Amino acid sequence: MQRIWEVDFIRGIAIVLMIVFHIFFDLDYFTRFDFSAWSMELFWLARATVAIFVFLVGVSLTLSYAKTNGNIVGTRLAWKYIKRGLRIFSMGLIITAFTLIFFPQGLIFFGIIHFIGAAIIISYPLLSRPKLALPFGLVAFVVGLLINGIALDTMLFTWLGFSVSAAYSPGFYTFDLVPLFPWLGIVFLGIFAGSKLYPNGQRAKEAPETKSRVLKLFSWMGRKSLIIYFLHQPAIITLLWLAGVIQPAFL
């Protein structure tokens, strides 16, 4: 099945937004640059970037399911997604280990990679019933809105979407937290949208192929999103260090 270039292109846009956000974040974190005046803009930039990524997870799952459905069936098909989810989740554990060693004050224990791995496994039952993805998505989103403001005296349930009370952990912080609720809702909406936009893995309406170098570059970045995700932060920090802008404590 031919790749859908516009999905890769939009994912490439999200990659660029992520890089831009992390340049600002690293300058703010490692240097005396102060971007507090832009805190709301950067907050929404980060949220918009995550929303694009996780929505495309749902769309991509419908394309993948259409490609494999019929060739792999039953338990084998389920295991395909379970193994894929576990593989990506294990990559998240590598990030957890890295931050535990170098940045324990902002330990990433359930970031976007952990979330995507879990979401792939949880979303599998909806791939054969994409119409249910819409109501399930709305419910997941509402659940997130309800529980995100509930602060508990434990960190054990932050991955679900609960907050941590200031009395239990003053200044609780993690560099990257993408809880299941409400973000699962956006994945489910992506599954529903993907089933409508690409029924049986094919475009519902033809889109012209592009020869634009810019579009091809963004599409290439979208195809290599996981590799870029792992490499972009070390690359940004190294370049800023070589430029003499920052001096991380661990270097």
In 3D space, the residue among 60, 51, 59 whose CA is nearest the CA of residue 17 turns out to be 51
* Local structure of residue 72 (DSSP, 8 states): B
pLDDT at position 236 = 93
pLDDT at position 244 = 79
pLDDT at position 163 = 92
pLDDT at position 108 = 95
Task: Write down the residue that tokens 């992520």 correspond to.
Answer: 18
The answer to whether 74 and 149 are in contact (CB under 8 A) is: no
Q: Which two tokens stand for residue 207?
A: 């889109």
95 SS3 class = helix
pLDDT at position 199 = 92
Amino acid at 55: F
The answer to whether 164 and 155 are in contact (CB under 8 A) is: yes
CA 245 to CA 60: how far, in whole Å?
39
Per-residue pLDDT tens listing for the chain (251 residues): 567 899 999 999 999 999 999 999 999 888 878 888 898 999 999 999 999 999 999 999 999 999 886 566 678 889 999 999 999 999 999 999 999 998 888 999 999 999 999 999 999 999 999 999 999 999 999 999 999 989 999 989 999 999 998 888 887 889 999 999 999 999 999 999 999 999 988 888 877 777 788 999 999 999 999 999 999 999 998 898 888 777 655 55
pLDDT at position 2 = 67
Helix (H) or strand (E) holding 119: helix 112-127
Neighbours of 207 (CB within 10 A): 10
pLDDT at position 84 = 96
